[in-house]
Structure 1
Amino acid sequence: MKQTKLFGMLLSVVLVLGLAACGETEGNSAGSSGAASSQTAEPAAYSIAALKGPTAMGLVKLMKDAENGEDLANDYTFSLAASPDEVSPKLIQGDLDMACVPANLAAVLYQKTEGQIVTLAVNTLGVLYIVEKGNAVQSLDDLKGMTIVSAGKGASPEQALRYLLDKNGENLDGDMIVDWKSEHSESVAALASGAATVALLPQPFVTVAQTKIEGLRVALNLNEEWNKLADDGSGLITGVIVARKDVVEENPGAVKAFLKEYAESVDWVNENVSEAAELIGSYGIVDAAVAEKALPACNIVCITGGEMKEKLSGYLAALLEQNPQSVGGALPEDAFYFGA
């Protein structure tokens, strides 16, 4: 009886010591990871630029929250630019921490800075559409023999259309005529005057054109056409948000916190179109009335991690095939993709 009692007491002591040891180990583990987390997730101050257009639309809720002094993970200062040429030098020189830029420009900047640019997320999928005053165009095949007006020669509109036609067994240079304009507004004017009946336009210019031209319809959504023809998991991508590599390395936890708040802003914009359009108009990104009609077709997203890498790397590979210089002459390495 005494032996049984003694054994029970010893067993209790062993269990208590074992649990204490486990608790100490877990506590140290949690403590160290908590310490690491607190080190990497300290609130940061970020200066972020976006281009007026779809790539800025998903940010507006976060912009407003920052302006109103809401309780956010970081301190954000936002600025808007009309052209990537205004943004790139500031990013490279360190005057900006992050920027929303065209997807191919991100790759160019990565090569130009020898890997000092990191892509955080895809923020806009394809926004290119074939529009027509009529009903002749029902598929890519129907573009044969036609004259199309478009801006963006040498840029993503030409590269995307050329890639899709190649995949479809057609040739942009031989099967149709493209009347290249210097600006999308010129294409809209050509449609309005009757000088053209088919155009390649991005949003929100599609919506602007439809408000001015009776009977103008969306004939083809190039985002959908890409998804039909590409079998590599890639996507037609308009814009991404990038950061300087040193900014990411200094505080990856704060960057992740930003991406969480960015994703929440994107969700809010997509779910509250009327309110979002008012904010978009108030920031001078796009007229509010145009924004409300265009938003559902602007494909605003916040895609991160492995999915971002799959879609973006495939898109850049397609551009490399069409024009190597459009992505800086080579594909970015894995370090280009944050969290992938």
Structure 2
Amino acid sequence: MKTVKLSRTLTAVLALLLALCLSLPLTACGGGSPTETATGTGSETVTEAARDTDTATGQTVDKNLNVNVAVLSGTTGFGMAQLMEQSSKGASALKYTFRVESDASNILPALLNGSVDIAALPTNAAANLYAKKAGTVQVLAVNTLGVLYVVTGEGVNVSSFEDLKGKTVYCPAQNPTFIFTALCRKNGLEPGKDITIDNTYAQPAELRTVLAAGKVDIAVLPEPMVTIARSANDKLTAALDLTAAWSAAFGESAALAQGCVVVRTAFAEAHPAEVAAFLAEYEASVKFVMENPAEAGTMIEAQGIFAKGAVAAKAIPHCNLCFITGQEMADKLTSFYTTLFGVAPASIGGAVPDNGLYYGVK
């Protein structure tokens, strides 16, 4: 092993440098590490360099905070497409990790265990989660109004609910079934007695396939499945618009609020600036999708929200996408939940949610 001998001059220089270093703050000798500030629950640390001002909200946000967002495929997720595209290019105000799921039941446990922070869900799923564990989530915005239609096959004539008496109507599970049940009862048809509602094909995509193939005669389908089915079988008819039927049954001011975006309450309380930034970005995304259906369709396909972008683009004008927050959101959802509770209490967890469900509403 070689021993390196230092000259007296070099030794003196090193001693002087050491003395200067010891006289400075530790951060000056340690490579210039930024000061760390605790945030959230205390388990997360945020560097000052990671903080930035969001131009949309004017608030300081943590650019390094990873926001986990779950998106339900189909129309409930359409409005998220442009934000997902921006995020994939590093052009969003926040750092996001997105996941797309075909079934809300895959998202609810993730909200409960904290692996998802924000999610686009059916409105009844949000109510059920709130009933199961109050305070876990809050609704940030309503993002989808009515998109359901009764579609009939060749030779089946339906122009009113009365025409459905004695018939079997195939319907996707969860929200579509609850909505259709409410409308049937309001129109004097008791499911199981006057009409059969069959959930054999629980997912809209599989129901659309069998309807287009002529294996079922009457089905409740959402857009864009209606568009796809009718493209595959031009003998199909969109016989009843359930959004119009809802207004006729429950009043013009009643909203058929089918989709929403929720946030984990703990996340919202720990990161209010980031929630505000998300809402600003999401509102802009919804607006973009509504105003630019062709370009949005390409994004929807690229982000895995729906397999056929061209079909999504054609369906967007009929999907009733929206961005409703605050008191208006609370009023519309309370009215909707009250109606569902009156005909199918279990569909919203057995009780109409109180204002604790609504973000920013006292």
Aligned to 2:191: 172
SS at match of 1:151: coil
Q: Work out which of the two has the higher radius of gyration on C-alpha atoms and give 1 or 2.
A: 2
> What CA distance in whole angstroms lies between the structure 1 residues aligned with 2:119 and 2:299?
20
Q: Does 102-111 or 265-274 show the bigger shift?
A: 102-111
Deviation, 1:281, is 0.8
Q: How does 1:57-206 map to 2 (within 5 A)?
A: 57-70=78-91, 72=93, 74-133=94-153, 134=155, 136-152=157-173, 155-183=174-202, 184-206=204-226
Aligned to 1:249: 269
Contact 2:75 2:144 in 1 (8 A): yes
1:140 partner amino acid: F
> What CA distance in whole angstroms lies between the structure 1 residues aligned with 2:279 and 2:346?
30
SS at match of 2:166: coil
- For residues 302-324 of structure 1, give each alpha carbon's deviation from its aligned partner in whole angstroms, at most 9, with x where no partner exists: 11111111111111222222332
Q: 2:343 aligns with which of 309, 318, 322?
A: 322
Task: Name structure 1 gaps, 5 residues minimum.
Answer: 1-39
Aligned to 2:73: 52
SS at match of 1:181: coil
> What CA distance in whole angstroms lies between the structure 1 residues aligned with 2:266 and 2:213?
51
Matched, 1:305 2:316: no
> What CA distance in whole angstroms lies between the structure 1 residues aligned with 2:208 and 2:356?
40
1:43 partner amino acid: V
- For residues 15-49 of structure 1, give each alpha carbon's deviation from its aligned partner in whole angstroms, at most 9, with x where no partner exists: xxxxxxxxxxxxxxxxxxxxxxxxx9331432211
Task: Name structure 2 gaps, 5 residues minimum.
Answer: 1-57
SS at match of 1:122: strand
> What CA distance in whole angstroms lies between the structure 1 residues aligned with 2:190 and 2:167?
12
Deviation, 1:185, is 4.1
Contact 1:234 1:312 in 2 (8 A): no
2:354 partner amino acid: E
Matched, 1:294 2:312: no
1:267 partner amino acid: K
Deviation, 1:124, is 1.3
Deviation, 1:96, is 1.5
Flag the 1:70–1:139 CA change in 2: closer, same or farther, 3 A.
Answer: same
> What CA distance in whole angstroms lies between the structure 2 residues aligned with 1:188 and 1:66?
32
- For residues 206-247 of structure 1, give each alpha carbon's deviation from its aligned partner in whole angstroms, at most 9, with x where no partner exists: 122112112212111111211222138442222211111122
Following superposition, which runs of at least 4 residues in structure 1 exceed 4 angstroms of deviation?
none
> What CA distance in whole angstroms lies between the structure 1 residues aligned with 2:360 and 2:157?
45
Contact 1:132 1:216 in 2 (8 A): yes
Aligned to 1:29: none
Flag the 1:248–1:186 CA change in 2: closer, same or farther, 3 A.
Answer: closer
Deviation, 1:199, is 1.4
1:265 partner amino acid: S
> What CA distance in whole angstroms lies between the structure 2 residues aligned with 1:81 and 1:190?
22
Aligned to 1:271: 291
1:266 partner amino acid: V
Aligned length in residues: 299
1:172 partner amino acid: P
Q: Does 156-165 or 253-262 show the bigger shift?
A: 253-262
2:260 partner amino acid: V
> What CA distance in whole angstroms lies between the structure 2 residues aligned with 1:42 and 1:264?
19
> What CA distance in whole angstroms lies between the structure 1 residues aligned with 2:304 and 2:190?
39
Contact 1:234 1:310 in 2 (8 A): no
SS at match of 1:90: helix
Q: Please report the TM-score for the alignment, with normalisation by the length of structure 1.
A: 0.81
Q: Which structure has more helix as a fraction of its residues?
A: 1
**Greater length-normalized contact order (CA 8 Å, ≥ 6 residues apart):** 1
> What CA distance in whole angstroms lies between the structure 2 residues aligned with 1:196 and 1:85?
26
Flag the 1:257–1:189 CA change in 2: closer, same or farther, 3 A.
Answer: closer
Deviation, 1:270, is 0.7
- For residues 233-288 of structure 1, give each alpha carbon's deviation from its aligned partner in whole angstroms, at most 9, with x where no partner exists: 44222221111112222233432232122111111101101100011111122111
2:164 partner amino acid: L
Deviation, 1:93, is 1.2
